[in-house]
Amino acid sequence: RFQNLFILLSSYLFYGLWDWRFLFLIIASTVIDFIVGQKIATCNERKLKKRWLWLSVVFNLCLLGFFKYYNFFVESWVDFVSVMGYDIKSKWTLKIILPVGISFYTFQTMSYSLDVYYGRIKPSKDFLSFATFVAFFPQLVAGPIERASNLLNQITNKRTFRYSQCTDGLKLILWGLFKKVVIADSIAPIVDDIFANYAAYPASTLILGVCLFSFQVYGDFSGYSDIAIGTAKLLGIELMSNF
């Protein structure tokens, strides 16, 4: 419990340093899905179980959709009305930024509720462990998205330090940094120049830009994932390899 409390507080501190107000979103998603998991397990009627599941799905998707797509749809509506000849101001847009990592933790908590509903796992009775599972900082903002059957089981058990696991984690962190800094960040200026001045370059250069961009994107996401997996190893947690 001390290990989990330390990781949970560290995770909230890590996320709160970016914007502490969005911590309430993680906490709300954690509380809702923890309660949903308990209710699904104790309900005897299938219809009632499905209602609790829908509560989790609707809450998480509305949370994600509101912050990620609200301004997009409002601005699209304003542009559409402008084409029809009406000039209106987009006063309904929200002057907020997208909460970082919201896609990862909403889908992670929602997948937990789905696993409980279909009987793949038993619901967690330890709120501290479940909150640690949701807010686990190595993969909170960049993934990989973990199933409760893999990550939550490890969190509920006591971890012990293993030298081999630590060295493997450090190697993965360095390899991830190499992908991100040396490969992706080195390619980015070339790709940005080609995409910004596409009219001035021949087709062969544009094809080269597209190919380099694929390496840049892979280096970014694969590098982030390796750093996350390596950091988790330092804490005695094994995350799945998604690249």
pLDDT band at residue 130 under the 50/70/90 scheme: very high
At 54-75, the pLDDT tens digits run 999 999 888 888 877 776 666 6
Tell me how far apart the alpha carbons of residues 223 and 220 are, in angstroms, rounded to a whole number: 5
Q: Which residue has the tokens 């896609």?
A: 103
At 162-174, the pLDDT tens digits run 999 999 999 999 9
Tell me how far apart the alpha carbons of residues 135 and 22 are, in angstroms, rounded to a whole number: 12
| pLDDT, mean of residues 184-199 | 93
Inter-axis angle of helices 46-83 and 102-117, nearest 10: 150
Of residues 175 and 1, the one with the higher pLDDT is 175
Kindly tell me if the per-residue pLDDT of 180 is higher than 90: yes
Kindly tell me if the per-residue pLDDT of 211 is higher than 90: yes
Cα separations in angstroms, 41 against 60, 105, 146, 167, 240: 20, 22, 21, 40, 27
Of residues 6 and 74, the one with the higher pLDDT is 6
Q: What is the DSSP code string of the chain?
A: -HHHHHHHHHHHHHHHHHHGGGHHHHHHHHHHHHHHHHHHHH---HHHHHHHHHHHHHHHHHHHHHHHHHHHHHHHHHHHHHHTT-----TTS---PPPTTHHHHHHHHHHHHHHHHTTSSPPP--HHHHHHHHH-GGGTTT-----HHHHHHHHHSPP---HHHHHHHHHHHHHHHIIIIIIIHHHHHHHHHHHHTGGGS-HHHHHHHHHHHHHHHHHHHHHHHHHHHHHHHHTT--PPP--
Side chain identity, residue 213: F
| pLDDT, mean of residues 192-221 | 93
| pLDDT, mean of residues 117-134 | 90
**pLDDT score at 241:** 85
Show the 3-state SS of 146-166: CCHHHHHHHHHCCCCCCHHHH
Of residues 80 and 92, the one with the higher pLDDT is 80
Burial of 190 (0-12, 13-18, 19+ CB in 10 A): middle
Tell me how far apart the alpha carbons of residues 112 and 34 are, in angstroms, rounded to a whole number: 9
Share of the chain above pLDDT 70, in %: 88
Task: Indicate the average pLDDT of the chain.
Answer: 87
Cα-based angle 90, 96, 97 (whole degrees, multiple of 5): 120
